[in-house]
Structure 1
Amino acid sequence: MKEFFRAFLGSCLGVLISLGLLILIGLGIIGAIVSSAEEEVKISPKTILKIELDQPIVERTSKNPLDNFNFNKFKSSKPIGLNTIIASLKKAKTDENIAGVYMDLTTVNAGGFATVQEIRNAIIDFKKSGKFVVAYSETYTQTAYYLASAADKIYLNPEGNLEMLGLKAQVMFYKGALEKLGINAQIIRHGKFKSAVEPFMLDKMSPANREQFDALLGSIWGIISSEISKSRNISAEEINSMANNMTITDGKSALKARLVDDLLYKDELIKKLSTFAKLGKDEEPEAISITKYDQVAAKDEKLAHEKIAVIYANGEVVMGSDSQNLSEKEISTALREARKDKRTKAIVLRVNSPGGSALASDIIWREMDLARKSKPVVVSMGDYAASGGYYITAPANVIYAQPTTLTGSIGVFGVLFDVQKGLKDKLGISVDVAKTHEHADLGTPFRPLTSSENQVIQMEIERIYATFTGHVAKGRRLPLSYVDSVGQGRVWSGTMAQKLKLIDKIGGLSDAISEAARLAKVKEYRIAELPEQKDAFSQILADFTGESLSTYFAKGQLGEAFVSYNEIRNFVKNQGVQARMPFWIQMK
């Protein structure tokens, strides 16, 4: 009998090992197919560059073919990198085979207005070539229309509509749910605007939080409406009237208000594109997607000896290795490598982060401070560079942000959940502990903090806040008292932050790179993107042996709700002292 079980278990183990090997071989085949597909593409004259933004826009295109893979539908919907979009438009500007740009904006899956603003600015720059830009949509969201407003011509489906209602920001509060579950969120914070913890302690916005929301939304809407006004030659007063009175209800009202140039079905649009591309009467235009065009070799591309390192710092600031977030380990290593590399003449840190771990932020700050002493360091802010995301930018020589970037949030908080009452009342579970010292179980979720423990943690929060503001004061060359006055956890738009001297200039990543080259006094250079991405197969292995596998499945199941799920998951996972923005804003 013993031999039977030994043989049986051995067979089971063999099957599992074989299955694992088959999975690895399968993934290797997928990686090989994807890699072989990435070969140089050639295009014909009068080709139209087609821009579709229906997939998530990330900071840079991933080499991982399973990024955003939908395992339920077994279909890939790989995110497109902002770097690829900008580079493709820059290349198309001088490409004699590209006749113009066609933006299909029925779905725009952008994280925030700053990302869209960067693409919009690249479209405006492309138009300097004299080539046409056409925008079309079955229905325009405000984000999509803001991007479309940069086009020469804007078309809408005759039965479609255009949203022009103004901006909103919604916050979900969990206090009532926690009370029903018997969970107590123990909050320690510095900064009256540091409202990341408010959903766990209130059932509506505090007056301070509402104040900053009103100021933020007003600032961002003012920028958007002003730029639409300029592009479409419609006064800002008219645009605000449309939003207040809901006068844009369908395509006809959008056409009458001069928001669009014509109402067309797709077949009529194709004829228009043929005319713009100067094709023959019966010729249909040939279009190429951004992802395909990325594989077209740039004309007379030279490999310069000197480099400017562009380091991408995206996601929540976390300790250790984490490909899904802003890893302290990866970013500090990249900064160190760039600092020590003699061929790297300047560093650009591209930040798109709401913050996170205070300790991880400080570790990255230290590498930034060392880098600045060695060579020029410039920061480019994306949609967010707040709290810990702002902390790491403080030592830079120059900081760039888009007008709609959310930044600042100079503040610190801590949160510890006490589930003792909920476990006992709801499930009849109690926890006892043996310990050598009174505070050995500090931080356990199975009892509340004592007053002395609360006081110690508050002192730690104050110490970290003093360090944070001290770093900002030193890096920005501002009085400490002034930094505290614009701190307190308050979030600012890029436009507001420039007036407050928290950033230096308005602009995107391209502007930051040009500034870095100017400071380093280099004319011929190439871009080195860091951290270095793994090849497709290595990245798949890394993801499938880590937390990313569950993330893939969660994204497929939850869809758009994944953002909220991930926010709560990270909040609970990162209990302790955090330098994090008080909210996520999704504005469409």
Structure 2
Amino acid sequence: MNFLRNLLASILGFFIALFLIFACFFIAAAVIGSSEKIVVKPNSVLELDLSTSIRDYAPKEDNPIAEALELTEDKLALNKIINAIENAKTDDNIKGISIKTTSVSAGMAQTQAIRNKLEEFKESGKFIYAYNDVYTQKNYYLSSVADSLFLNPIGAIDFGGLSTEILYFKDFEDKYGIKMEVIRHGKYKSAVEPFLENEMSEANREQTTSFLKSIWSEMTDDISKSRNISVEKLNLIADNSYGRNVTLAKENNLIDASIYEDEYQEKLAMGSEEKVNTISISDYINSGKGRISSTEKNKIAVIYAQGEITYGEGNIDYIGQGIMNKAIKKARKDDNVKAIVLRVNSPGGSALASELIWRELELTKKEKPLVVSMGNLAASGGYYIACNADKIIAEPTTITGSIGVFGAIPNFSQFTDKIGVNAEQVSTNNSASYSVFEPMNQKFYAVTKEGVEQTYTTFVNRVSAGRNMTFEQVNEVAQGRVWTGKEAIEKGLVDQLGSLDDAIKVAAELAEVENYKIRNYPNYKTNFKDALPVSPFAKSSKEGLLKETLGNDSYQLYYNIQKMKNLKGIQARLPFLLEVK
């Protein structure tokens, strides 16, 4: 008996000791990691690599152990990138910028915002060079801002115009008996169209063509100015793939020269005998250059609403009324906060959560100026929470509108009939109930349809009051129709085009303050356990591990399926899974 007791005590002691060793290792790593100070050396070139995931807002991990051991997802914050480029303009240690990135992991509006900031940087007289082995289209759009643009001698430029692809499932549903029961309002509300049809409707084709042309127009206009190529010629280049090799790219002025990377490094030195240092954008941000220092007492609060809207607390990836409303209340009650900017980057989601956030913003608007800045997306529920602002400012390539709602519920009744499975129900009342194993009955459809129509009417009324338009005027541009920021101005849904910086300036003007500093919200607290991957020694988050295992394309498919599984309640959501390429 003593032997067994001693054995168990030894095993328990071993695991306790092991835990303490790991804990000490984590703490030591955190201390060592936090003690490293990044210094910007003289004669440095800031290297812009945007292949890391870019979000509007990516606050530093609040768990130093997870941060030090790189257990968090690699990400860059758009606001910090913009601040870093602004600081580089007057930083004597930075002689220029090198755009050298394999891809641009940012949305189109984010990419345009960075490109516009680089245009401002050129006014400092410092150079911007760009180099790549192969340019993707978005990468080329960004890089075309450079003073000189270089390509590997056997490289190519993917420049062929914009396109998007939508999968339709109607035949699949009919064949296997697994389908989605759909109730919607809005002829353009095509989030559910793939479950109802096997080809694109004319209404959906119309809106998709419209916003693709609007975004392409912005891209070609910007490239035309930077490269001194007419828009007509750029379209000719795209139609004929004249970027497909170095010779054609050079003949059509898409590049300045074809050189190897070592020759590019020599160009960065610009004939200087001093050693040229390079510093990555992430290191430059971490050196303290990702923020604009200020000792001002007055503040403009920037509240970031990024991700899909879900009912609940929310986190850094999802907008929930819990965290959002706490942030809004905190900014409202801070006497030093003179105005609030809501930065929206969302395709929408839960109509209920959108309404709850809208209400908190409505209360806030009565006390302080409220300005909305739209990022890549401010659609459906994203527009719902934006519509009551004093001013709405969108990027030209923002996807917005999509004022419409739907409900979608899976149904397996035809499938279970085919395989010989029968479901029987017992109920105490004759309520409008639903089973995925039975066809949708008329009573349930009528009740759900009533809810969809009521939500749509409320949505339109919110927009009508916020934008000072009649119900009929809003309904005319609603119906789930998607617009770019550029188009939305003409429809009365947006006040002006501009960046987050522009929105902050407008908010300051409304608050009648000239000097101020920026205070970012919300504050997120990450559970250390959630950051841990399968192995404590792995250098990736759960999301990073899935991406590495599945690949980006397969991961995106997995992610989209997970999103559809988690839909609850009536949705105010962007009308499709949008990937422009």
What TM-score does the superposition give when structure 2 sets the normalisation length?
Answer: 0.91
Distance 1:15 1:328 in 2: 45
Distance (whole Å) between structure 2 residues aligned to residue 414 and residue 29 of structure 1 = 51
Structure 1 residue 222, shift from structure 2 partner: 1.1
Shift of 1:11: 9.7
Partner of 1:492: 483
For 1:114-193, list aligned pairs within 5 A: 114-193=109-188
Does residue 1:579 correspond to 2:572, yes or no?
A: yes
For the structure 1 residues 420 and 543, does the alpha-carbon distance in structure 2 shift closer, same or farther, using more than 3 Å as the test? farther
Matched AA of 1:391: Y
Structure 2 Cα separation of the partners of residues 163 and 305 of structure 1 = 49
Measure, in 1, the Cα distance between the counterparts of 2:458 and 2:96: 51
Secondary structure of the residue that 1:396 maps to in structure 2? coil
Q: Map 1:62-461; keep pairs closer than 5 Å.
A: 62-64=59-61, 78-110=74-106, 112-275=107-270, 279-280=272-273, 283-297=274-288, 301-323=293-315, 324-426=317-419, 428-439=420-431, 442-461=433-452
Tell me which amino acid in the other structure corresponds to 2:42: P
Alpha-carbon shift at residue 155 of structure 1 (Å): 0.8
Match of 1:508 in 2: 499
Offset, 1:24:
6.5
> Relative to 1, partners in 2 of residues 1:205 and 1:309: Cα closer, same or farther, differing over 3 Å?
same
Deviates more, 1:484-493 or 1:12-21: 12-21
Shift of 1:9: 10
C-alpha deviation, 1:218, in angstroms: 1.0
Q: Tell me, yes or no, if the aligned pair for 1:49 and 1:101 is still in contact at 8 Å.
A: yes
- Distance across 2 between alignment mates of 1:504 and 1:220: 18
Is contact 2:71–2:541 with CA below 8 Å preserved after alignment?
no
Deviations 1:471-492 (A, max 9, x none): 0011111111010000000000
Residues 207-255 of structure 1: CA distance to partner in whole angstroms, max 9, x if unpaired?
Answer: 1111111111111111111111111111111011111122332011111
The amino acid of 1:413's aligned partner reads F
Q: Is the 8 A contact 1:188 1:413 kept in 2?
A: yes
> Judging changes above 3 Å, is the alpha-carbon distance between structure 1 residues 250 and 557 closer, same or farther for their aligned structure 2 residues?
same
Post-superposition shift, 1:419?
1.8
Find the residue that maps to 2:123 and give its secondary structure. helix
Q: 1:165 to 1:552 in 2, by over 3 A?
A: closer
Structure 1 match to 2:528 = 540
Structure 1 residues 133, 65: CA separation in 2 closer, same or farther (over 3 Å shift)? farther
Instruction: Give the C-alpha shift of residue 502 in structure 1.
Output: 0.6
- Aligned-pair CA distance for 1:317: 0.2
Counterpart CA distance in 1 for 2:350 and 2:53 is 25
Give the deviation of 1:399 after TM superposition: 1.0
Would you say the 8 A contact 1:175–1:200 is kept in 2?
yes
Tell me which moved more, 24-33 or 220-229: 24-33
Report the TM-score, using the length of structure 1 for normalisation.
0.90
Q: Which amino acid aligns with 2:121?
A: F
Structure 2 residues without counterparts, runs of 5 or longer: 534-539
Identity of aligned residues (%): 41
Residues 393 and 24 of structure 1: CA distance in aligned 2, closer, same or farther (over 3 Å): farther
Q: How many residues align?
A: 569
> 3-state DSSP class of the match of 1:108?
coil
**What does the per-residue CA deviation read over 1:88-107, in whole Å, with 9 as the maximum and x for residues that have no partner?**
00111111221111110332
Partner of 1:48, secondary structure, is strand
Equivalent position to 1:52, from 44, 49, 53: 49
Work out whether residues 55 and 77 of structure 1, in 8 Å CA contact, stay in contact via their aligned partners in 2: no
Q: C-alpha distance in 1, partners of 2:120/2:140? A: 18
Alpha-carbon distance in structure 1 between the residues aligned to 2:86 and 2:139: 21
The separation in 1 between residues aligned to 2:42 and 2:503, in whole angstroms, is 33
CA distance in structure 2 between the aligned counterparts of 1:557 and 1:175, rounded to whole angstroms: 31
Structure 2 counterparts to residues 525-564 of structure 1, below 5 A = 525-534=516-525, 538-541=526-529, 543=531, 551-561=543-553, 562-564=555-557
Aligned-partner Cα distance in 1 for 2:490–2:447:
37
Distance of aligned partners of 1:566 and 1:83 in 2 relative to their CA distance in 1, 3 Å threshold = same
- Answer whether contact 1:66 1:78 (CA < 8 A) is retained: no
Structure 1 vs Structure 2 CA RMSD: 3.0
2:537 is matched with which residue?
none
Give the C-alpha shift of residue 560 in structure 1: 1.4
Are the aligned partners of 1:348 and 1:516 in contact in 2 as well (CA < 8 Å)? yes
Q: Which residue of 1 aligns with 2:515?
A: 524
Change (3 A) 1:154 1:356: same
TM-superposed CA distance for 1:269, in Å, is 0.6
CA distance in structure 1 between the partners assigned to 2:352 and 2:120 by the alignment: 40
> For the structure 1 residues 50 and 551, does the alpha-carbon distance in structure 2 shift closer, same or farther, using more than 3 Å as the test?
closer
